[in-house]
Protein backbone atom coordinates (compact mmCIF):
# COMPACT_ATOMS: atom_id res chain seq x y z
CA UNK A 1 0.00 0.00 0.00
CA UNK A 2 1.32 3.40 -0.96
CA UNK A 3 1.16 6.23 1.55
CA UNK A 4 0.45 9.81 0.53
CA UNK A 5 2.80 11.08 3.26
CA UNK A 6 5.25 9.72 5.84
CA UNK A 7 6.26 10.93 9.31
CA UNK A 8 9.23 9.68 11.31
CA UNK A 9 8.35 10.39 14.94
CA UNK A 10 10.58 7.76 16.56
CA UNK A 11 12.43 10.45 18.51
CA UNK A 12 9.28 12.28 19.63
CA UNK A 13 7.19 11.69 22.73
CA UNK A 14 3.53 12.17 23.59
CA UNK A 15 1.62 14.39 23.13
CA UNK A 16 3.73 15.82 20.26
CA UNK A 17 3.43 12.52 18.37
CA UNK A 18 -0.34 12.92 18.09
CA UNK A 19 -0.14 16.66 17.37
CA UNK A 20 2.19 16.08 14.39
CA UNK A 21 0.14 13.09 13.20
CA UNK A 22 -3.07 15.10 13.36
CA UNK A 23 -1.56 18.01 11.40
CA UNK A 24 -0.33 15.59 8.71
CA UNK A 25 -3.78 13.97 8.49
CA UNK A 26 -5.45 17.37 8.13
CA UNK A 27 -3.32 17.99 5.03
CA UNK A 28 -4.50 14.78 3.34
CA UNK A 29 -7.64 14.21 1.32
CA UNK A 30 -10.33 11.93 2.70
CA UNK A 31 -9.27 8.31 2.10
CA UNK A 32 -5.54 8.98 1.69
CA UNK A 33 -3.08 7.01 3.82
CA UNK A 34 -0.47 8.39 6.20
CA UNK A 35 2.54 6.30 7.25
CA UNK A 36 3.85 7.09 10.74
CA UNK A 37 6.95 5.64 12.40
CA UNK A 38 6.62 5.68 16.20
CA UNK A 39 8.81 4.64 19.10
CA UNK A 40 7.54 1.86 21.34
CA UNK A 41 5.65 2.58 24.54
CA UNK A 42 3.14 5.36 24.96
CA UNK A 43 3.31 6.72 21.38
CA UNK A 44 2.71 3.25 19.92
CA UNK A 45 -0.33 2.82 22.15
CA UNK A 46 -1.89 6.28 22.13
CA UNK A 47 -1.51 7.48 18.53
CA UNK A 48 -3.43 4.55 16.95
CA UNK A 49 -6.13 4.74 19.63
CA UNK A 50 -6.56 8.49 19.24
CA UNK A 51 -6.60 8.22 15.44
CA UNK A 52 -9.51 5.78 15.63
CA UNK A 53 -11.32 7.98 18.15
CA UNK A 54 -10.99 10.87 15.67
CA UNK A 55 -12.67 8.83 12.90
CA UNK A 56 -9.63 7.51 11.01
CA UNK A 57 -9.07 3.86 10.01
CA UNK A 58 -6.04 1.84 11.10
CA UNK A 59 -4.75 -0.01 8.05
CA UNK A 60 -1.62 -1.56 9.59
CA UNK A 61 0.32 -1.58 12.83
CA UNK A 62 3.54 -3.57 12.57
CA UNK A 63 7.09 -3.70 13.93
CA UNK A 64 9.53 -1.47 12.08
CA UNK A 65 12.63 -2.42 14.11
CA UNK A 66 13.36 -4.66 17.09
CA UNK A 67 15.76 -4.38 20.01
CA UNK A 68 17.17 -1.07 21.26
CA UNK A 69 15.42 1.76 19.48
CA UNK A 70 12.49 -0.48 18.59
CA UNK A 71 9.73 1.16 16.60
CA UNK A 72 6.41 0.50 14.93
CA UNK A 73 4.99 1.41 11.54
CA UNK A 74 1.44 2.72 11.53
CA UNK A 75 -0.65 3.16 8.40
CA UNK A 76 -3.76 5.23 8.96
CA UNK A 77 -6.40 6.15 6.38
CA UNK A 78 -7.93 9.57 6.78
CA UNK A 79 -11.58 9.31 7.67
CA UNK A 80 -14.38 11.69 8.38
CA UNK A 81 -14.47 13.18 11.86
CA UNK A 82 -17.03 11.72 14.26
CA UNK A 83 -20.30 13.66 14.51
CA UNK A 84 -20.34 16.47 17.06
CA UNK A 85 -22.23 15.93 20.25
CA UNK A 86 -25.46 17.92 20.59
Give the model confidence (pLDDT) of 26-70 as tens digits. Answer: 999 999 999 999 988 888 889 999 999 999 999 999 988 766 678
Give the model confidence (pLDDT) of 3-22 as tens digits. Answer: 999 999 998 888 899 999 99
Distance CA 44, CA 80 (A): 22
DSSP state of 73: E
71, β-bridge pairs: 39, 65
Residue 66's pLDDT is 67
Q: Which residue did the predictor score with more confidence, 81 or 62?
A: 62
14 catalytically annotated: yes
pTM of the model: 0.86
Which entry of 3, 14, 28, 70 is annotated as an active-site residue?
A: 14
Distance CA 32, CA 85 (A): 26
**What's the average model confidence in pLDDT over 60-83?**
84
Residue 35's pLDDT is 96
Residue 67's pLDDT is 67
Distance CA 42, CA 79 (A): 23
* DSSP codes joined into one string, 10-55: TT--TTHHHHHHHHHHHTSPTT-EEEEEEETTHHHHHHHHHHHHTT
Amino acid sequence: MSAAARLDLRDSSCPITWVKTRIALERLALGEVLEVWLGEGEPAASVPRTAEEEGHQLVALEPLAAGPGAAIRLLVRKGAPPPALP
